[in-house]
Amino acid sequence: MNLILIAVISLGAIALVLAAILYVASKKFAVYEDPRIAQVGEVLPQANCGGCGYPGCSGFADACVKAGSLDGKFCPVGGQPVMAKIADILGLAAGEAEPMVAVVRCNGTCANRPRTNQYDGAKSCAIAASLYGGETGCSYGCLGCGDCVAACRFDAIHMNPETGIPEVDEAKCTACGACVKACPKAIIEIRPQGKKSRRVYVSCVNKDKGAVARKACTVSCIGCGKCVKTCPFEAITLENNLAYIDPAKCKSCRKCEEVCPQGTIVALNFPPRKPKTEEATAAAPKAAVAPKETAAAPKETAEAPKVTE
């Protein structure tokens, strides 16, 4: 009995002393943390995708609170509604950010780009790219092993089994950029979604000379420069036999798409053209249906100019 009493008293005494030390330490070494960081963290989607450029959601919340301004900060997953909530919490003005989307700049489908050999190694684009230029004559285009699909945390990109090219589901894509990093060929680009999801881009990354590129793929950019000359807004640049449309300058007039002899320039989700070229009245009623089409599915769109030629 005595023994138990001693044990209880001694342990109790130790506990009291330690509690006192802990109490003093917690007061003396307390670190003040802005409670707003936790509040901001709560409204964030907690996907920790890193699409904002910070190492996860808590890093972003911390940066938002400490920066004192929301300029240049944008959560691609939550988008504008989440940014508005953060602005409310912090009493700041939310930075306006254009919604972005991932764009697959390759249209080298099985039909457009004939196979010249067969890769039978591990099914990974990173490995295939380190060993070979690809299964076709184009060493720049999509390898089709689906590293981008594996990288996407939002189920927004899928391989189309018919074309062998990935397609982006615009409704799910948050433009976090994981697929861009995963693609060893740098085919995927984050571009502004555009009004009513309408956008014009060059669906090719082939830097080979025209003749080589054309032989490898029927819808490759041959670097002819017609689009550069046609563009009234100087939005198109031609470098290394490859045209690029600067989304900041592009006004979506679609003149380049018309002149492209290869059908490489894709104008997505636009209503069908009227028989005579009158783009002025482009905002047609069909627009509500059109945006449902996903990116990089534009086989019809891509080949349309050929028919008209």
Partner 1 sequence: MLKTFSIGGVHPHENKLSAHQPIITAEVPAKAVILLGQHIGAPAKPIVAKGDVVKVGTKIAEPAGFVSAAIHSSVSGKVAKIDTIVDASGYAKPAIFIDVEGDEWEETIDRSTTLVKECELSTEEIVKKIADAGIVGLGGACFPTQVKLCPPPSFKAECVIINAVECEPYLTADHQLMLEHAEEIMVGVSILMKAVKVNKAFIGIENNKPDAIELMTKVASGYAGIEVVPLKVKYPQGGEKQLIDAITKRQVASGALPISTGAVVQNVGTAFAVYEAVQKNKPLFERVITVTGKSVAKPSNFLARIGTPMKQLIDACGGLPEDTGKVIGGGPMMGKALVNIEVPTAKGSSGILIMNRKEAKRGEAQTCIRCAKCVSACPMGLEPYLLGALSENGDFETMEKERIMDCIECGSCQFTCPANRPLLDYCRLGKGKVGAMIRARQAKK
How many degrees, rounded to 5, is the angle at CA 260 between CA 185 and CA 181? 15
Of residues 120 and 234, the one with the C-beta less far from partner 1: 120
Q: Strand locations in the chain, DSSP E?
A: 100-104, 157-160, 165-168, 188-192, 199-202, 236-239, 242-245, 265-268
Is 57 annotated for ligand binding?
Answer: yes
- Gyration radius (Cα) of the chain, Å: 27
144 binds partner 1 (CB under 8 A): no
Restricted to residues 188-227, the positions that interact with partner 1 (CB under 8 A) are: 208, 212
Restricted to residues 101-120, the positions that interact with partner 1 (CB under 8 A) are: 116-117, 120
23 binds partner 1 (CB under 8 A): no
The stretch among 122-130, 172-180, 191-199, 291-299 that binds partner 1 (CB under 8 A) is: 122-130
> Measured from the CB of residue 187, what is the shortest distance to partner 1 in angstroms?
16
Is 145 annotated for ligand binding?
Answer: yes
> Measured from the CB of residue 125, what is the shortest distance to partner 1 in angstroms?
10
Is 227 annotated for ligand binding?
Answer: no
130 binds partner 1 (CB under 8 A): yes
- How distant is the alpha carbon of residue 234 from its chain centre? 25
> Measured from the CB of residue 48, what is the shortest distance to partner 1 in angstroms?
16
| Burial group, residue 288, by CB count within 10 angstroms (0-12, 13-18, 19+) | exposed
48 binds partner 1 (CB under 8 A): no
278 binds partner 1 (CB under 8 A): no
Instruction: Compute how many other C-beta atoms are within 10 angstroms of the C-beta atom of residue 73.
Output: 19
- The number of residues that bind partner 1 (CB under 8 A) is 17
The secondary structure of 117-170 as a DSSP string is: S---S-S-HHHHHHH-S-SBS-SSS---S-HHHHH-SSS-EEEETTTTEEEE-T
Tell which one of 1, 131, 211, 248 touches partner 1 (CB under 8 A).
131
Q: Are 136 and 216 in contact (CB under 8 A)?
A: yes
Of residues 69 and 116, the one with the C-beta less far from partner 1: 116
Residue 20's H or E segment, with its range, is helix 2-28
Of residues 143 and 295, the one with the C-beta less far from partner 1: 143
Q: Which of 227, 243, 213 is nearest to 141 (CA)?
A: 213
Of residues 64 and 145, the one with the C-beta less far from partner 1: 145
Which DSSP letter does residue 237 get?
Answer: E
Q: Which residues are documented as binding site for [4Fe-4S] cluster?
A: 49, 52, 57, 75, 138, 142, 145, 148, 152, 173, 176, 179, 183
Q: Which residues are documented as binding site?
A: 49, 52, 57, 75, 138, 142, 145, 148, 152, 173, 176, 179, 183
Binding site for partner 1 (CB under 8 A): 116-117, 120-122, 124, 126-127, 130-134, 137, 139, 208, 212
